[in-house]
Amino acid sequence: MRHWVLDVHSCCGAARWVLGLLSWSLLTSTADGWQLLDRNCWPDFSAHYSACCHDEIPPHENCFNAEEGRTWARCCSCPRGLNVSGGEHGVQLDKAGLKLSQQFFGPLLCSGPSLRAHPDDFWVTARDGSRRLLRVFVYPLPRKFNTDLLNRLQLGGWLTGSECDYGLTPCTEAGWNGLFSVFRQFATEVILLLKFLAAPPGVLTSDAAEADIFLVPYLAKTDCAESGNGRDPCWGKCKCATAVKHLFQELPHYSWQTRGRHLFLATGDIKDLPVEIQAQPLIVSLGASFCGGHIVVPSPNLDPDLQPKGALENREAGNRAPERHIFAYWFGSNDKTWRKKVVGQMLQYREEGGLRTIVVHDIGSNYETRDVWQTDAGSPQMVIEEMMRSVFCPILQGDVPHQKRLFDVMLTGCLPVVVAFPSHVPGEVSWWLPGGPPVERMVPFPRDIDYRSFVVEVPQEEVESGRFMEALLKLPEQELKERRSAMLRARPLIRFDFGGSGADAFSMTLREIWRFLEPQQEPQQCSSRGLEMEGASSSFGRWNTPTFDCGVPPIQKTGIQMYGHFACCPLFSKS
């Protein structure tokens, strides 16, 4: 009798193993069961990938049959010795990046990164004023921190009928596909990792002493989604994430001196990430951001029509841009106070015979039955087309300060409209809720993008007085034209360019990272409450040791976390 070894570290791993064994007989009993294995070998949600491809559990004897083309290399990883040049489009890639991309993304990607970074992205200005390449050390983390999470989540997407992948390539789904369609808005961490791996030669290094950045290829938000069994999201400090519990033992260069240069990828809402990740000094997430080192990045827009030289830009270049005959457009749930106020006023205007066209698509959901797309908006493509034909697209109170629709409407040319509330910082404005974070802490790259030059702000009191539509109707056409021009200039900077044709959101992310890293190279004396680190030395060359003050940031008065549960803020005091 064969003995099976369960993953004692993970109840989720054990559960998946049991599920795999239980469903194996069902799979093989069907006449065409094995024919369904053509797509990444596994026809079901994640059971067979977990049972057959686990690092620590021996595979079932029926997992692989070389005669039928099923091997561990094909079903679980990339074939050994696969030679990929990485020289497509005239851009030479680093061999280390090609090898790591196969390790982190196989078998979904075996031919190297599926996108390109712009070569200029990785050039930084050194202390002496010279220009040099950024040096990045990428931890070769085991499969459970990246590959396994991504493959299981991807298999769940295929099971629900999605023809798209999880951020690997531009793709617009033909219809709504359960929670997989929700999860895809958190795929920025996948894109960021692929962009780093697509770096030109000279960026990636295996020598930790040379590193400016220690990149941790743990897909934190993917862990939160997939570890909730891929169907039920795991929010609220991501308590069910499994891989993070074993992460730091895999980071031999992580120390007090280097933690400020360890870059963690966690592109979900900050409060819904594992607390171990929230407490890191250098992290990319969807925000909001309490202090430097926590870098807010956009949600990914994965629609091919909105990529550079895609359908929309081609139409604009040919003076065939869609006519904007919809005055105000809303696609979203209508279950929150300020959404109800604004959407209610839009509908009231329409019901009273207003002359301008108003389009509202409500989204309902039933998470118990996993029916999360109860809407009359027929498809994602339909929503994009309608945004392209709209003048104003409100961005209204969500569960957290971040909203993907802000970036969608910017790319489609629809002017974002927000309610302007007083922030918890005196004299500042929030676009979330009364007492919310200031605008500059909510949005990506606020030092480089002037959001107020194109976002229409309607004061809170105007909405409370029922004058939301009146505020939009009185805006002159010349002002709208100027705002659209300003938004057009910002468009490349909030979009991830899969072809690497120019500066994009990844370029801006690297700029923000370097702004955080650069002061750490200067002579300094750092101190923090209850901690004295003055004169601390570092074993890593040119880098000095910053001190970080980790504390509990303020929450919104309703109890909603704005900045997560921890904030590690750098303290610099130059001698």
Domains of the chain: 94-296 (no CATH), 309-494 (3.40.50.2000)
Please tell me the distance from the alpha carbon of residue 285 to that of residue 288, in angstroms, as a whole number.
8
Q: Cis link prior to 288 (omega < 30° from 0)?
A: yes
Q: In three state form, how does the secondary structure of 29-77 look?
A: HCCCCHHHHHCCCCCCCCHHHHHHHCCCCCCCCCCCEHHHCECHHHHHC
| Closest CA relative to residue 146, chosen from 81, 95, 192, 93 | 192
- 125, containing H or E segment: strand 123-125
Tell me how far apart the terminal alpha carbons of the chain are, to the nearest angstrom. 70
Please tell me the distance from the alpha carbon of residue 108 to that of residue 78, in angstroms, as a whole number.
8
Angle at 330 between CA 328 and CA 335, to 5 degrees: 135
Provide the 10 A C-beta neighbour count for residue 94. Answer: 19
Instruction: Supply the pLDDT for residue 100.
Output: 93
Please tell me the distance from the alpha carbon of residue 36 to that of residue 15, in angstroms, as a whole number.
23
- 132, containing H or E segment: strand 131-133
Strands (E), 282-325: 283-285, 294-296
DSSP 336: S
Angle at 283 between CA 433 and CA 520, to 5 degrees: 120
Buried b (16+ CB within 10 A) or exposed e, 146-156: bbbbbbbbbbb
Q: At what angle do helices 188-197 and 95-105 cross, to 10 degrees?
A: 150
Q: Radius of gyration over alpha carbons of the chain, in Å?
A: 24
Residues 6+ apart with CB under 8 A from 232: 179, 367, 370
| Closest CA relative to residue 198, chosen from 138, 252, 150 | 138
For residue range 359-404, list pLDDT tens digits in order. Answer: 999 998 876 676 788 898 989 999 999 999 999 999 999 989 999 9
Contact present, 322 and 389 (Cβ < 8 Å)? yes
366 φ/ψ angles, rounded to the nearest 5 degrees: -135, 95
For residue 555, the cross-strand partners are 561
Write the DSSP assignment of 315-365 as a string of letters. HHHTT-PPP--EEEEEEE---SHHHHHHHHHHHHHHHTT-SSEEEEEE-EE
Whose structure tokens read 């901690």? 531
Please tell me the distance from the alpha carbon of residue 545 to that of residue 533, in angstroms, as a whole number.
8
Please tell me the distance from the alpha carbon of residue 52 to that of residue 54, in angstroms, as a whole number.
6
* Exposed / middle / buried, residue 574 (Cβ in 10 Å: 0-12, 13-18, 19+): exposed
Contact present, 260 and 570 (Cβ < 8 Å)? yes
**What does the pLDDT profile of the chain (575 residues) look like in tens digits?**
222 222 323 333 333 333 333 333 333 333 333 333 344 576 554 567 777 887 777 777 778 877 777 777 778 888 766 665 554 544 567 889 999 999 999 888 888 899 999 989 999 988 788 899 999 999 999 999 999 899 888 888 888 889 999 999 999 999 999 889 999 999 999 999 999 999 999 999 999 999 999 999 999 999 988 776 545 666 667 877 878 989 999 999 999 889 999 999 999 999 999 999 999 999 999 999 999 999 999 999 999 999 999 999 999 999 998 899 999 999 999 989 999 999 999 999 999 999 999 999 999 887 667 678 889 898 999 999 999 999 999 999 998 999 999 999 999 999 999 999 999 999 999 999 999 999 999 999 999 999 999 999 999 999 999 999 999 999 999 999 999 999 999 999 999 999 999 999 999 999 999 999 988 776 555 444 433 333 344 455 677 777 899 889 999 888 888 999 999 998 865 43
Angle at 461 between CA 460 and CA 467, to 5 degrees: 100
| Closest CA relative to residue 54, chosen from 123, 5, 103 | 5
Query: How far out from the chain centre does Cα 146 lie?
Result: 14
Provide the 10 A C-beta neighbour count for residue 323. Answer: 8
Structure tokens at 532: 């004295």
Whose structure tokens read 């019901």? 351
Contact present, 315 and 324 (Cβ < 8 Å)? no
Write the DSSP assignment of 64-123 as a string of letters. -BGGGTB-HHHHHSPPTT------GGG----HHHHHHHHHHHTTT--SS-SS---GGGGE
Contact present, 115 and 105 (Cβ < 8 Å)? no
DSSP 356: S
Buried b (16+ CB within 10 A) or exposed e, 168-181: bebbbbeebbbbbb
Q: Sign of the CA dihedral 452, 454, 455, 458?
A: positive
Structure tokens at 517: 């890293």
Secondary structure of residue 192 in the 3-state scheme: helix
